[in-house]
Amino acid sequence: MNRMLIVDDEEIGRTVMEEIFSKYGPSVSVSSGTDALQVYQKGIEKGKPFDLVLLDISLKDISGMEVLKKIKTIDAGLKEHKSMVIMVTSHGEKDIVIGCIKSGCKAYFIKPLKQDAVDKKMAELGFSPAQ
């Protein structure tokens, strides 16, 4: 079963993501990049790493891009587990999309999220609904 970390500084954004992605497994939601990095690291330390990180690019404390880079740095030190990061944002500018992909995200959803588009992309990425 997939374990997910949802990062969005807006409560409504977290709620929508929790609902749309709930069929793929349990999630933990946080409202800041700092909290995301702490929870991510604790998951690894406890032997319960996250399989998927859904990350808003516009956070109030540090940018989602910085969080992405730090997650990739943490993962580089791991032998077995690597998380997949998907950026979820209202920004659709080409340079932002390219920057996120170059930094290691595997997909990019633009808000508002639509269940059918999410399901299609999740299937492409190898994620199936939890049983």
Specify the pLDDT at position 96: 81
Mean pLDDT of 30-49: 96
Which tens digits make up the pLDDT trace of 71-119?
A: 999 999 888 878 999 999 887 777 887 888 898 999 989 889 999 999 9
Specify the pLDDT at position 99: 86
Specify the pLDDT at position 23: 95
Residue 15 predicted with pLDDT over 80: yes
> DSSP string of the chain?
---EEEE-SSHHHHHHHHHHHGGG--EEEESSHHHHHHHHHHHHHTT---SEEEE-S--SSS-HHHHHHHHHHHHHT-SS---EEEEEES---HHHHHHHHHTT-SEEEESSP-HHHHHHHHHHTT-----
Residue 55 predicted with pLDDT over 80: yes
Specify the pLDDT at position 130: 83
- Please tell me the pTM assigned to this model: 0.94
